[in-house]
Structure 1
Amino acid sequence: MAIGSGLGAQLGIAAETTYGTYKAPTQFIEFTKESLALKKTTAQSAGIAAGRLLALSSRRVVTRREAQGTVDIEVTNLGMGLLIQALMGTTVTPVKQATSTAYLQTHTLADTRGKSLTIQKGVPLTNGTVTPKSFTGCKVTSGEFECEAGGMLTGSFEFDGKDCDEAQILAAASYSNMRPFHFGQMALKSGAFGSETALDGIRKVSCKIERPQDVERFYANQSALKKEPVANDQVKITGSLESDYVATTLDDLHTSDGATSLVWEFTGALIESTYNDTFRITLPAVKLDEGPPVVDGFGVVKPTFNYSALYDGTNQPKIEIISAEAAL
């Protein structure tokens, strides 16, 4: 029997073979908050019947079912692969690094068609009974990462789902010895792609990757459920860089509207040989939209530069993970 509060909750995920077909969880995520919920559309008969003052409950019907919500996490050295694959789109097989026990995942930006998840959450009743809710056909519509001075690297994933199934058996949760990435491990670099150098004065970084999709594919013959969402707009990657004004590097890029490659990297504990736990976002072409320095008092000038990532014509944005995991 679990604890009858959020302390007894769990969240498991699995990559689906077929969109919307339940797959038992293969990984369990340590999350900080979630809002996944069934969303239903109903219609009520309005037929007039002499003397009837209320609409008949038997004449209310469910015309659409879907699921929506977000999951907030601390980004850790293990268990991130399936979420990042669903966000970025590339089918990834971890590559063993030399003869070590370290494996590299390279998640390059691609179409997310065929990348859906089953997400099962366990919600505890106050008596300790955990109710399973399995969300199928979960497509990532956005992922946002953020880290500030003194804090953890956090991630927030927004999902659109096909349905919620409450008949599946609650999977038994198990957890690896995960370690969170944090500000003390953070580096930010800019410059020409492949030869970026460290930026000084950075206090906080954020990056949001949006995957616009047509989530309204409700057709006849689908039993009120949608077909797999399809990309219907270009990917949007935006973020911000909060800093102290210690150099003019970012200021000059804002003035000239020049492009720079941006590498945001976290280096954790040693796995083996020269390979460490690593989480790295590479944006080959970034332009600064706003945020030139202004003086608003006696203190240190602290500009916040907002940026947009674009295509440099050759290199796609990517997220790389080095971990001890041989499979996602």
Structure 2
Amino acid sequence: MSALKSDLLRGHQEEPLQQDKVAPDSEHANKHKSSSFRPILRFGLFGRAFFIITAFMILSLSVWGMVVVNALEEHRANQLAERATSALNIAQKSIQYAAKENRSALIIQLATPGDTQVFPREESDSYLALGESRFEDLLKERLSQLVPTTGIILASELSQERGLWIGFTVDDESYWLLVKYRHDLFPNLINEGLSWLFITLGIALFGAALSVRMLTKPLRQLAIASKQLAHGENPAPLPTDKGPTEILEVFSTFNQMAMDLRAAESDREVMLAGISHDLRTPLARLRLEIEMSCFDDEALNAIDGDMEQIEHCIAQLMEYARPTGEAPKEP
């Protein structure tokens, strides 16, 4: 029983250990998957700057387009309201000053096809009130400022005929005034407006790409020089005669840092070479004195082994003194 109990306890203790072993493997797999997808979504400085500038440019052009469209709608509504007001005054005065027996002929003449027409109004007429869009709201607001609203009906459609319909009354007789206008604000918007928009956007994007490239070129030069310096090479000095002030300051600082590193490397080589010379000279003198002494062979071999070890240490120092900064080679 005790053996069975110990086996069960051992099994329960091993299960968490196995779970702990599996968990890091799964975490490592998840990290590997995330790291495999991460470079796909990573952009360089040029891509990020170009994307941000493009996004803000498209946003600004969209806002500008909305402002222009709203301004044109308001201007168009004001013009149509003034035109309708003039036509309404002319129609009212013409009917008012015409003799009643001649009004039918006058209405027939005023109903001839044109930009403005006058028709008799009946109680059974079915019309759509004005105010179905922002443009119609602007038009209605402007007309209310120019024309007295008492006894006036404003409609946008009558008998499936769209336009600005104004119902008015002259001597207890009701009439309709139709003022025709184009309902599309930009008739050639798709053909001309979008083409000019794409041309403007293309020129702006080309300028943005050129400006971003001019900004990222010095950074690319700095990255190349930094890699050369990290590999133990001597990069050419970065230009400090033209460019933005911030870039020139960075280039000047990097050039000074590279000069300081080269000076420190040169001082290190001189110091290690001097140490090697100062150590090898007395070692050579000691070796000569030991060979001329009367020590037995065993002592001579021991002393010779110690001196060879010192020579090996000196050789390692000389390996470290190389300009490339390579590690010393094993004997």
TM-score norm. by structure 1 comes to 0.15
Give the number of the structure whose residues are more often helix, by fraction.
2
